[in-house]
Copies of this chain bind each other. A is one copy, B any other.
Amino acid sequence: MTNLLKLFDFVKQTTALSQINGFLGWDQETMMPKGSIEQRAQWMGHLSATLHERKIDPRIGEWLESIDSENLTEFESSQVRYIRRDYNRALKIPIDFASYLAITTSKSQGVWAEARSKDDFSMFLPILKEVLNLKRQEARMLSSTTLYDSLLNDFEPEMNSQDLESIFNRMRPRLIEIREKALISDEVPEVIGRFPKKIQLQLSRKLALAFGYDFDRGRLDLAVHPFSSGSGNDVRITTRVSENDPFNCLYSTIHEVGHATYEQNINKDFLFTPLGSGVSMGVHESQSRIYENQIGRSRAFTKFLHREMLGLFGDFGIKNADDFYKCVNGIRNGFIRTEADEVQYNLHIMLRFELEKALINDDLRAEDLEAAWNEAFLRDFGFPVDSASNGVLQDVHWSVGLFGYFPTYSLGNIYAGCLHKAMRADLPNLDNAFEYGNVSDAIDWLKENVQKYGGLRTPEATISHAIGGQPDEEPLLQYLEEKFGDINS
């Protein structure tokens, strides 16, 4: 066996163990009895330790050195690129540090939850400072470029914060302009009545199937927060149900199906290689967003969804398709990122990006974070934050050390805008089928042009390949201007 094959064989086993680790996370959120939480932490701790031992195994370095990079296929050289990156990263972060960080963020998440429930930022501040301190240490150990970019690149390889900042600065005024014009009027009706859980789940399954989710290689369960988990032939999704608000469940499902089908549709030869998962958080989010928004909230598809819902739930206060479309796409004032519309969602992200970058770069003290949040929110949204739980304490991310993660959500929207434009150019008649709930041509396009490639290319190259050019924010902004100009007219 050549050293290349030995290397790939070794990594295959590591990848399998890593998939098992992810699977333990799924069970923890869905099936696990509550009394098992400590035992589960032990399981995951010991599996992580085993994984770390494998990731720093010196044989990897020897094999990597002995490989003749000249004569590799794209499939081989992509794998080697990932393996080299992961090996170097693993060598930089001592296992004791990683364990301490994991313990601290686990504790921190509990403190954050309590602080949020008590609306008290000062309660969260001490442990946030600890987490921040550790993440800055970690960034220094990784030190690929700037501190912030070191963290960002864990989620979005080869992206940098300077480019992101330029993009966001160009986007902000135009998003605010769209918002000002399209802020929902009181005349648009809202849904009324009760939407039984069982029927919501039934419709969710139907939507999941329509959007290409393969239930033979996955399953749909309930969890506190919707998520998608797994890769290859075992990709499971969750949703949640509010009986007053059917869109929560339905659009969460479509969103998670976007993540899940991406994983399910990757080239089968990539399974158990580093290429067998979605290439980055940004590209992953582009799939969930285009499923949910550009397709799921399109005028054409909402016609279908409206009819379906009338059939299943009876009269729920919205009788015509145009009102339904407006209701599903309404731009409303609100504090919460996860409840935001397609336009304002990005404003939420930019605010977080600005603040977390300042925290990591030591341009903002954690003590001043709440005031800085409230000031930026008033500036971008035009009204003041009324409580910490509606402001700086609303997201779990910082408590668990996820700095550098937020911008990938907007990057996903930007990529989705590019992909949507290219897809519509290739398939100009999609809306005819969308009106009947048939989105398979769109899904097939995404599968063929994005999803099947998994991690073969870099994130940006993945999108470039699909759209035939460099991605930028313009298609997203034009799509939003057109859609929300139209809604308001």
Contact = CB atoms under 8 A, between A and B. Distances in A.
A319 B39 CA distance: 47
Task: Specify how many copies of this chain sit in the oligomer.
Answer: 2
B33 A17 contact: no
Given A20-B43, A43-B20, A233-B36, A13 B214 contact: no
Contact of A39 (B32, B45, B233, B236): B233
A219 B271 contact: no
A50 B13 contact: yes
Contacts of A111: none
Contacts of A46: 12-13, 16-17
A16 B36 CA distance: 13
A193 to B, nearest CB: 28
Contact of A50 (B36, B43, B50): B50
Contacts of A39: 19, 232-234, 271
Contacts of A38: 233
B271 A33 contact: no
A27 B230 CA distance: 14
A34 interface: yes
Interface in A343-384: none
A36 B217 contact: yes
A205 interface: no
A47 interface: yes
Which 8 A-B pairs give the minimum distances between C-beta atoms? Answer: A16-B46, A36-B234, A35-B216, A35-B217, A13-B46, A39-B233, A36-B233, A35-B233
A50 B17 contact: yes
A35 B219 contact: no
30 contacts: A12-B46, A13-B46, A13-B50, A16-B45, A16-B46, A17-B46, A19-B39, A19-B43, A20-B24, A20-B47, A23-B27, A27-B27, A32-B234, A33-B215, A33-B217, A33-B218, A33-B233, A33-B234, A33-B236, A34-B216, A35-B216, A35-B217, A36-B217, A36-B232, A36-B233, A36-B234, A39-B233, A39-B271, A40-B234, A42-B272
Nearest to A32: B234
A188 to B, nearest CB: 40
A218 to B, nearest CB: 6
Contacts of A271: 39
A17 B47 contact: yes
A224 interface: no
